[in-house]
Amino acid sequence: MAPRLLLVGAGGHGRAVLATLRDAGWPLPAGVLDDNPACPGLPGVPWLGPVARAAALRAEGLAAAHVALGVNALRRRLGEQLLELGFDLPPVVHPSAVLAGDSSLGAGSVALPRVVLGAAARVGRHVILNTGCIVEHDCEVGTACHVAPGAVLGGGVRVGEEALVGILAGVRPGIRIGARAIIGVGAAVVAEVMPHSTVCGVPARTVRQGALPPVPPPGE
């Protein structure tokens, strides 16, 4: 039987994850943590306090969790903290998603409705495979990436950690996308994308090079 999860994040992505859990027959989550003091919780799921309460809830017996936050670096940071506290972070998969039998989905990752994960594709921890995206055969998607709705990765694409592949973007087979790169909405990626760069257009061209400011700790 699927465990009763503690959710972290009560925003839009939190609602999407909650809908996926319900559609997949998971028990209603035990509660949600969010640093917003005015947080109303999620539909049917109470707010249990800020993220700092996670350790106490683990001590009280909650054993499984999911970080439902859209910011890649923050999702990764909190997910790794929960693992260190002893939480299990099982992957969450919508029943309409199609995952090849020899593909893999890492701890804390989610496959939302109509995702396709091809043969021998490997997806790391804390990854969002958003609605209707396609990750074809032999792809490697690194830790804490986000493949946005409708995006398509051709066979053998390598996506570095914390990268974002934007809505309806297409990536040619065999392309490498560097860590923390951003692929713009509808971009057609036909050449290697360097780490920390932003590319847009058809064909995609670099419009920014350099790291974004770091994500502040929760509550700051």
DSSP label at residue 2: P
Distance between CA 69 and CA 183 in Å, rounded?
Answer: 19
Catalytic residue among 66, 94, 126, 137: 137
Contacts of residue 163, Cβ cutoff 8 Å, sequence gap at least 6: 72, 142, 145, 146, 177, 178, 179, 180, 181, 182, 183
Q: Is 137 in the active site?
A: yes
| Strand-by-strand arrangement of the 104-105 sheet | 104-105, 122-123, 140-141, 158-159, 176-177
How far apart, in whole angstroms, are the C-alpha atoms of residue 159 and residue 172?
12
Task: State the burial class of residue 108 (Cβ atoms within 10 Å of its Cβ: 0-12, 13-18, 19+).
Answer: buried
Give how far Cα 8 sits from Cα of 77, 81, 213, Å: 12, 12, 23
Q: Which helix (H) or strand (E) holds 77?
A: helix 72-84
**HEC secondary structure over 43-65:** CCECEEECHHHHHHHHHCCCCEE
The catalytic site residues sit at 137
